[in-house]
Structure 1
Amino acid sequence: MPTVNLLEYLNSRTQLEMQGEIVKPSRSAVLKRSLALATTIHPQFADLSLEELAVEVVGIELALEVVQNVYGNVHVMINPSYAYNTQAVVANVKRLHLLCQIVDPDFDSSRLVTKIPTTWEGVQAARQLKPSGIKSLATTLFSMEQVILAGEAGCISISPFVHELKTETYNGYKGSNPILGVCVQAQRFYRQNSLPTRVKACVTLSIDELIMLAGVDALSIAPTVLKELAGPERPQEELESMSVFAKTAKATEDASYPPYIDSECQYRVHFAASEGGKAQFKTAQAIALFCDAQTAEEFYVKSQLEDSSYSPITL
């Protein structure tokens, strides 16, 4: 049965994950260290509020803490509030790379992948950054238009959200049908066009969906679903019959798509029409949820800064 690469993607930080981590008592030392460092280096980043800088430092600290225990890339998401501003995304990505070197001068920055929302502006930022050797992952992705744009821009990977992000953050929320087919089409498109971009499916809700995605390049797996993998084994024949990759390989002919990277108007028109507008809605919804988490993190960090005194430290 086809296998997927899990270990490379174990260390991935988004605003939603960080929001839950920084309030844990077990993370108090990391938070304290990050706030002290942010206070020290804040004069170098005068255009940022201290709390925004502190959130970025915490994100880097959390991402790098297990770097010795995993191979491959370390993923950190940009501030999602910049999703529709190309130059702000470029500046944010470069800042995250600089913060990595400040936090750990020995860290190999070629392992850092910045997660950028798959907006027109975000992907154009990834395109600008690629010649400098900076790697990008296109996240909040729900359509083939976004798949094509990200591949043409040189993103090293994409994260199709099988379900709406809200299904993970709001109990009882029922979204539209899962986009398992987009994962298959995306991987086929990249192979057909000799593009190195890899497909990392995420926001799966069950063990059955993981099995159905057997054959995808990589997966992000929620802890609740990960526990199910330890359950009873199923017959090999049953597992193979469930894979949407195996079924599609037999039943689908190669499809052709228009290029988008230099055609903003065509891209926006086609993306707006994708799934009758659902893809655009789901992307905007996911970005909004990440922005909410970013705001909550900054509010919490600001409260910690106000409650305590963080003296500059010696670097």
Structure 2
Amino acid sequence: MNQLQALKQFTTVVADTGDFKQMAQFQPRDATTNPSLILKAVQKPEYAPLLQDAVQRWRGRAVDEVIDRLLVRFGCEILSLVDGRVSTEVDARLSFDTAATVARAERLIELYQAEGVHTGRVLIKVAATWEGIEAARQLERRGIHTNLTLLFSMAQAVACGQAGVQLISPFVGRIYDWYKKQAGSAWDEAATAGSNDPGVRSVRAIYQYYKHHGIGTEVMGASFRNVGQIVALAGCDLLTIAPELLAQLAASDVPIVQALDADAARALDLPRIQYDEAGFRYALNDDAMATEKLAEGIRAFAVDAVKLEQLMTAA
């Protein structure tokens, strides 16, 4: 049994890519996309026709609508290859606008429904800002399930749990990146690997908090830099993994043991946390890493959204 097969015994494996042709070989249950991944995909010769087709079919429509139609096209292609769900992201430039996020999410769902896709097979990805979490609360009440992304802190996770969101994507690799950069030459890779990795520790703490308090929101570790981070989170509800790391897992037969366990988490002594808006904003502000990585992530996704629009208008 290879590591990928072993991991699937403990955790639902999700493919983190827009390259659906590459993804199929790993047989993930779900898949996640984002503007950066779609931008990367449409610049490949095999996917360029999808962009051209969207532009030709919907020429004259607003560019944001054509973008959404392209995202849904990719989502439908992915859903033809997986048994589970696909995550499709709302434009990151709406991360601080609750009403606009809700409206864009509803349009994405309507486009999926027009293609015959059941709402239950789609997760709408939204940045875990206060406004994004509030949008997710409203969407969940309307039966539209959400995936809260760019999540770097317990404060964000607690607020998402309070909002009743379907799933959160706490980032491992970007947390690791931040602490490694801060440490500079003092960084000890061996001492901060595996279960001691700061990104792994963050996701483990969130997982334990949710399971201890019976919070139904699914935890999906994301943004991995190496296989060691993935193995250290075996047992997490879901892990979304890039094709390159899926290939490494499939090529290795080193044994994997379950690292996260819901029953063990329930036995811990973890106090309940509650946030109102002011408390959330202060807790997030108090976490320099989470504040910086959230802002950086939104900026990066927004830049790629603009690049995708430019490709659309030039096509």
Please indicate the TM-score interval, normalised by the length of the shorter structure. Answer: 0.7 to 0.9
Task: Say which of 8, 16, 37 aligns to 1:17.
Answer: 37
Q: Secondary structure at the match of 1:270?
A: helix
Q: In structure 1, what is the equivalent of residue 137 of structure 2?
A: 127
Between structure 1 and structure 2, the one with the greater Rg is 1
Q: 1:9 to 1:78 in 2, by over 3 A?
A: farther
Structure 1 residues 230 and 294: CA distance shift in structure 2, 3 A = same
SS in 2 for 1:188: helix
| CA distances 1:2-37 after superposition (whole Å, capped 9, x unpaired) | 611015654222001011111222123322221133
On the 8 A contact 1:199/1:216 being kept in 2, the answer is yes
Partner of 1:295: 306
Match of 2:20 in 1: none
Q: Which residue of 2 aligns with 1:311?
A: none
Number of aligned residue pairs: give it. 280
Question: Which sections of structure 2, spanning at least 5 residues, go unmatched?
Answer: 1-5, 15-27, 184-196
**Residue 165 of structure 1: how far off its partner (Å):** 8.1
Choose the corresponding residue for 2:11, options 4, 28, 51: 4
Output the amino acid matched with 2:212. Answer: Q
Q: Write the distance in 2 (CA, Å) between the matches of 1:76 and 1:153.
A: 20
Q: Could you say if the C-alpha distance between residues 74 and 179 of structure 1 is closer, same or farther in structure 2, counting changes exceeding 3 Å?
A: same
CA contact (8 A) 1:164 1:175 kept: no
Matches within 5 A, 1:96-107: 96-102=108-114, 104=115, 106-107=116-117
Looking at structure 1, the residues matched to 168 and 120 of structure 2 have their Cα atoms a distance apart, in angstroms, of 18
Cα distance in structure 2, aligned partners of 1:166 and 1:283: 14
Flag the 1:12–1:120 CA change in 2: closer, same or farther, 3 A: same
* Deviation at residue 244 of structure 1 after TM alignment: 4.8
Q: How many angstroms apart in 2 are the aligned matches of 1:159 and 1:77? A: 12
Distance 1:224 1:285 in 2: 24
Identity %: 25
Report the Cα offset of residue 231 of structure 1: 2.8
In the alignment, does 2:264 pair up with 1:254?
Answer: no
Q: Quick check: 2:175–2:289 contact (8 Å CA) kept in 1?
A: no
Aligned amino acid, residue 295 of structure 1: V
In the other structure, the counterpart of 1:46 is none
Alignment partners' CA distance in 2, 1:301 and 1:221: 28
- Counterpart of 2:189 in structure 1 is none
* Corresponding residue to 1:222 among 220, 225, 242: 242
TM-aligned CA deviation for residue 196 of structure 1: 1.4
Partner of 1:45: none
Residue deviations 1:159-202 (CA, integer Å, cap 9, x gap): 000021896xxxxx957763212211222222222221111101
CA distance in 2, matches of 1:146, 1:39: 39
Tell me what 1:278 maps to: 289
1:120-199 equivalences under 5 Å are 120-164=130-174, 174=181, 178-199=198-219
Q: Secondary structure at the match of 1:245?
A: coil
TM-score, with length taken from structure 1: 0.81
Whole-angstrom CA distance in 2 between matches of 1:83 and 1:15: 14
Aligned in 2, Cα 1:81/1:245: closer, same or farther, shift over 3 Å?
A: same
2:188 aligns with none
CA apart distance, 1:300 = 1.0
Take 1:267 and 1:117, find their aligned partners in 2: how far apart are those partners?
15
Aligned to 1:91, the other structure's residue is in SS state helix
| Aligned counterpart in structure 2 of residue 66 of structure 1, from 57, 74, 78 | 78
The C-alpha deviation readout for 1:107-154, integer Å capped at 9, x for no partner, is 112211100000000000011111110101110000000001111111
CA distance in 1, matches of 2:31, 2:56: 24
2:69 — aligned with what? Answer: 57
Pick closer, same or farther for the CA change 1:160–1:175 going to 2, 3 Å: farther
Q: Distance in 2 between matches of 1:33 and 1:302?
A: 13
Distance 2:248 2:182 in 1: 22
SS at match of 2:206: helix
Distance (Å, rounded) in 2 between the aligned partners of 1:232 and 1:108: 36
Compared CA separation, residues 4 and 279, structure 1 to 2 (3 A): same
Amino acid at match of 2:299: A
Quote the Cα distance in structure 2 between the aligned partners of 1:38 and 1:200.
Answer: 35
Q: Distance in 2 between matches of 1:82 and 1:4?
A: 32
